[in-house]
Amino acid sequence: MRYKATVVEMPDLLLAACKARSFPDGIKDAWDRLEARMPSLKGRHFYGLTVCEGGELVYYAAVQVAGEDEAAALGFPLLRVRGGRCARVKLLDWPHHVDEIGAVFDELMRNFPMAPDAPTVEYYRSESELHLLVPLAEGAQDGEAPAVPK
């Protein structure tokens, strides 16, 4: 089976972000710490960001916020992620396929020119649908993308 990759437009994001203490082992703890400070998870947009900092991969569990005051109230730093064109794969029933996330990102980055210094993005669209996004470098082709092997 293969995942279908498409090219989509991602909006600019303003996020309150909880940095994982390690990658990948600290990811669950980062989510637990973020969610523990939320009065409710309902209706919120959640993201996972992986970025290279100082030569190491760093992960952030994040929630979209209305502004700096909301991020400060949650007690997390504010991250701004520039939107733009991204290669995207939808991972359905993602809680049962968490072990595939890294492989899908690896394939996307092999098949698409990634924007330098941009994070890879996990957008948790619902409890069963996860969008994996790789920001595209300037000048990358528009339109439908090749399939990514599963």
Q: Domain boundaries in the chain?
A: 2-149
The confidence band for 1, taking pLDDT boundaries of 50, 70 and 90, is very low
Q: How much is the pLDDT for 147?
A: 47
Other C-beta atoms closer than 10 Å to the C-beta of 71 total 20
- Considering only the top CATH level, what class is 2-149? alpha beta
**Model confidence, pTM:** 0.89
Instruction: Name the CA dihedral angle for 37, 39, 41, 42, rounded to a multiple of 10 degrees.
Output: -170
pLDDT tier at 60, thresholds 50, 70, 90: very high
> CA-CA distance, 89 to 64, in Å (whole number)?
21
- Alpha carbon 59 to its chain centroid, in Å, reads 9
Neighbours of 14 (CB within 10 A): 17
| CA 14 and chain centroid, separation | 13
